Amino acid sequence: MTADPAVVPAARLNPIGKLATALVIAAGLLPSLDWVSAAAALTMEVALILALRIPLRPLLPRVALLVLAAGLTAVTILLYGESSGVVHWHFLLITVSDGSITLAFATFLRVLAIALPSVALFIGIEATELADGLGQVLKLPARFVLGALAGLRLVGLLGQDWRYLGYARRARGVADHARIRRVAGQSFALLVFAVRRGSMLATTMEARGFGAYPTRTWARTSEFGWRDSALIATGLVVVSTAIALSIATGHWNFLGSH
Amino acid sequence: MSAVAQSVGGVTVATEGWGWRPAGRARWALQDLDLHIEPGERVLLLGASGSGKSTLLHGLAGVLGGSEEGDEAGRLLVDGAAPGHRRSRIGMVMQNPDAQVILSRVGDDVAFGMENYNVARQDIWPRVRRALSSVGLNLPLAHDTSRLSGGQQQRLALAGVLAMNPGLLLLDEPTANLDPAGVLEVRDAVAAATEQTGATLIVVEHRTAVWLPVVDRVIVLGSEGQIVADGPPGVIVDRERDRLTGAGVWVPGAPLPEIPPRRAAPGEPLLTATDLSFGHRGGASLHTGLNFEINRATTTIVTGPNGAGKTTLALTLGGLLPPHGGRVDAALTFAPTPDRLEPIRWRSRELLTRIGSVFQDPEHQFLASTVRDELALGLRALKRDRAVVAEVSESLLERLRLDHLADVNPYTLSGGEKRRLSVATVLATNPEVIVLDEPTFGQDRVTWEELVRLLAEITAAGTALVAITHDGDFADLLADHRIELAAAPSQAPAQATR
């Protein structure tokens, strides 16, 4: 409830500011497919992550996954992307050319540049804080925000239900064959459990006055301060600098127009 | 918009010719109910299942729903007004601990109700702390609610309700799903809270021995939803003893059922655990180095506190979860082939005639759309003759008093009926070992007694039973062997999230 002075700068920022910043950067980088804007954005993002002192321990494994995903996308484009310039290798449908190499490299950087801010900024955001932000900063309806928040907690219970439904199928002698049909049946049973748990939760919430009045108070503040505005501004600077650099060097390629 | 009523103390509860008929039903759940409860009275509401106790509580809590949910007759009054107008003064705690927790942090969960009633922020946190300490839940406010035991979850729900200073506390079987320690935790927290606040209390509970010491009035509802007895606890329980016992209520001092005497010597071993360690898939081992045998015609009772890993042991013995270390081996004559002695390596169908598992939540094991098909399912998987399938399922339907429900969907049965059906599905394929996980949880006295008799009977006929239970009477009546699991040592120490 009170800010702990020991926490890193990133943890003091409002989740809504983080969400907006990630969206700003993604929106700015989506239209083009060149390597310059992506590389420039990526460089500045890394600097931003270091400045915010986002803890590396949770970050690095996520980044590793991201690099893997970006790499796989790039390889696909390298092998099957539109070919132009010198063709280096050709095998059946596979063509590796200058064009596909450039495109693959640009895609690799772009996937990283777009996804890295979301991955980094969302570390350590708890559902509760996000809900507070959505309700108090964005003023979304409390019914929607808290319904979603409480519903999220049910996911863990449903995971447990799923395992038990699986054990029960084995115990009842029907787990040897027809795997697809079994999974379909088990999914349906899970759906029944989900509806049931959902309606019990709704009764509990209603019994505690949820929705009794049009207004409610919030036990935790979700404040949107100058730091949060600064973060979004930084996001804007990152994308606009990246785009400006790309246009200036003649690499800007709006929606793949050339 | 309105501020929370500042008044303290209990409220008056009155029903005037009240009745409720759920939508689509021909029969009224409750009818012509006239009741008057004084502020601060502590009432235990009793009656057979289906007598409308929960309906009355939900009505008083104002959560029955509108006209699309059912028809209402007469009036319900809480402090002279409809419950809907008194919602901030009414708090309800229900049976299922899982369904009582709303948010993921202890503090937020308690604050939830106050937020909804527009309590100012600076007032919320002191009230959260006071409510948590009044139920004896001294945990950090950021503690993760998914790591609470059942008893702790129920106390949390109670704290969430008490923080709103309710004048009326409605409890719908709040301790039915708890272990004995959890039951007393919750009961004592309720008693202390009502003592402190003077709130009016209405509690529905089958296990009267727990609640009789803390209530000052008992109301008994009949099967037609009418009041059949109303008065001081001692008098009512004595006078209505037979009626209450017949209705499935646990009356203190009621005799335990007589069951046939057990054999002196245990039968030959069917399953042998050697240096067994077990735990959840991918999790830490909960116990290591266990050695025991499961013998024919013998009941083995497994006890231990919540979180000790009893359910995981049941799944491991049932051939559903691989052991972490050591072995569970079947006797040579019991295993399907000599090269596959371990139940986890048997095919699903091979388990059917060998090891049957009855889960804690019967709903997890229902697969068919009617009770009859549910019973036939295992037999069909074994490719039994159509006539045999029909004969066995009919005789089980009759024996477990489910014949009038043969074409009903299993999910729509009552708690006791679901339990009987889940046991019947296992009996249908006649396994030599039956593993039951908390078979008597949440059961009324009638179902309880039936289960005890049935299980005693099948053990006498040669089946090996393994039952996980908290239920002392059940264990004392049936136990030949006992396995006592200590609290799992590997549980991570409680720590605040972040």
User: ipTM of this model?
Assistant: 0.82
Q: What is the pLDDT of residue B18?
A: 92
User: Reduced to 3 states, what is the DSSP secondary structure of residue B364?
Assistant: helix
Q: Are residues A146 and A47 in the same domain?
A: no
Domain segments of chain B as ranges: 13-246, 257-354+431-498
Structural domain includes residue A150:
yes
Residue A22 has pLDDT above 90, yes or no: yes
Do the domain assignments include residue A32? yes
Q: Please report residues of A whose CB lies closer than 8 A to that of B92.
A: 207
**Angstrom distance (rounded) from CA B187 to CA B135:** 10
- Assess whether the region B13-246 and the region B257-354+431-498 belong to the same CATH fold: yes
CATH code assigned to B13-246: 3.40.50.300
Chain B contact set for A204 (CB, 8 A): 94, 99-100, 102, 157
Residues A88 and A27 in one domain: yes
Residues A93, A39 within the same domain: yes
Which residues are paired to B470 by β-bridges? none
Is the CB of A213 less than 8 angstroms away from the CB of B381? no
Best residue in B364, B409, B429 for a mutation probing chain A (most A CBs within 10 Å):
B364
In a domain, A120, yes or no: yes
The verdict on a CB contact (< 8 Å) between A197 and B98 is yes
* Residue B491, pLDDT score: 43
Structure tokens at B383: 């490719």
Token couple for B32: 């012509």
CA distance A170 to B367: 12
Q: Please report the pLDDT score of residue B86 as a whole number.
A: 86
Domain contains A215: no
Measured between CA atoms, the residue of chain A closest to residue B382 is: A173
Instruction: Pick A217's closest partner by Cβ from B58, B115, B161.
Output: B115
pLDDT of residue B322: 94
Q: Nearest 5°: CA angle at B230, between B224 and B231?
A: 165
DSSP B133-157: HHTT----TT-BGGG--HHHHHHHH
User: Nearest Cα to A228, choosing from A15, A55, A75?
Assistant: A15
The verdict on a CB contact (< 8 Å) between B63 and A206 is yes
Domain of A61, in residue numbers = 9-128+223-248
Distance from CA of A100 to the nearest CA of B (A): 43
CA B260 to chain centre: 28
CB contacts of B497 in chain A (<8 Å) are 126
Average pLDDT of the residues in A212-238: 90
Residue A84: inside a domain = yes
Res. A122: pLDDT tops 90: no
Q: Which residue has the higher pLDDT, A15 or A90?
A: A15
The answer to whether residues A235 and A124 belong to one domain is: yes
Query: What is the pLDDT, as a whole number, of residue A155?
Result: 83
Domain covering B257-354+431-498 assigned CATH 3.30.365.10 in the classification = no
Of B121, B377, B498, the CB nearest to A217: B121
Residue B120's pLDDT is what? 92
Neighboring chain B residues of A209 at a CB cutoff of 8 Å: 87-88, 113, 116-117, 164
The amino acid at B162: L
Over its C-alpha atoms, chain B yields an Rg (Å, rounded) of: 25
Closest residue of chain A to B383, computed from CA coordinates = A173
Nearest CA-CA partner of B305 in B156, B153, B151, B474: B151
| Amino acid, single-letter form, for residue B424 | A
Q: In the prediction, which pLDDT does B446 show?
A: 83
Residues A124 and A230 in one domain: yes
Considering only the beta carbons, identify the residue of B103, B115, B348 that sits closest to A173.
B348
CB contact under 8 A, A153 and B429: no
Q: Are residues A37 and A123 in the same domain?
A: yes
| Residue A197: pLDDT over 50 | yes
Is residue A218 domain-resident? Answer: no
Burial call B254-270: b when 16+ CB within 10 Å, e when fewer: beeeebeebeeebbebb
- Answer yes or no: do A96 and A194 share one domain: no
A80 and A120 assigned to the same domain? yes
3-class secondary-structure state, position A76: helix
Q: Does A202 lie in the same domain as A83?
A: no
A124 with A151, same domain: the answer is no
What 3-state DSSP class applies to B265?
Answer: coil
Does residue A189 sit within a domain? yes
Indicate the residue type of B53: K
DSSP string, B24-50: T-SS-SEEEEEEEE-TT-EEEEEE-TT
Between chains, do A168 and B378 touch, taking CB under 8 Å as contact? no
Whether B145 and B110 have beta carbons less than 8 Å apart is answered as no
Whole-number pLDDT of residue A5: 41
pTM: 0.77
How many domains are contained in chain A? 2
Q: Which residues of chain B have pLDDT under 70?
A: 1-8, 50, 262-264, 488-498
> Per the CB < 8 Å rule, is B108 touching A165?
no
pLDDT digits (tens, 9 = 90+) for A82-105: 777 778 887 777 778 888 888 889
- The three-state DSSP-derived secondary structure of B447-466 is HHHHHHHHHHHHHHCCCEEE
Identify all chain B residues contacting A176, using CB atoms and an 8 Å cutoff. Answer: 347-349
Q: Residue B319 has what pLDDT?
A: 94
Q: Is A81 among the domain residues?
A: yes
Partners of residue A197 in chain B, C-beta under 8 Å: 98-99
Given this model, what pLDDT does residue B486 score? 84
**Which residues does chain A have within 8 Å of residue B69's beta carbon, measured at their own beta carbons?**
none
pLDDT of residue B308: 79
Q: How many CB atoms neighbour CB A250 within 10 A?
A: 9
Among chain A residues, CA nearest to B428: A172
Same domain, A116 and A145: no
B333 CB-near residues (< 8 Å, 6+ apart): none
* pLDDT at res. B463: 93
Beta carbons of B304 and B288 less than 8 angstroms apart: no
CA distances from B412 to B22, B174, B361, B362, B399 (A): 15, 22, 14, 12, 20
